Amino acid sequence: MDIQAEKYSLIEYITQIKDIRLIEKLKQFVEATENDFWNDLTEDQRQELKQGMKELDNGQKHDYEKVMSKHRK
């Protein structure tokens, strides 16, 4: 896939849209994608968060200060 060709194809498509609701949805999607903190995390950080969520789902809890002391510099 040629990324530049895909971009131009999308631009052409967007310029033809007449439905303002669709334009708003596209805008919301772009804004949500740009502001998603998950995209700024390293893979290690993502894995640690996933592990923490899994532990919480299983009823496992950890002391807040102990966890935070690991991440404070």
17-44: average pLDDT = 87
Q: pLDDT at position 47, please?
A: 92
Q: pLDDT at position 67, please?
A: 77
3-state secondary structure labels for all residues of the chain: CCHHHHHHHHHHHHHHCCCHHHHHHHHHHHHHHHCCHHHHCCHHHHHHHHHHHHHHHCCCCCCHHHHHHHHCC
Q: For the whole model, what pTM was predicted?
A: 0.43
Q: Band of the pLDDT at 21, cuts 50, 70, 90?
A: very high
Q: pLDDT at position 73, please?
A: 66
Q: pLDDT at position 31, please?
A: 84
2-20: average pLDDT = 91
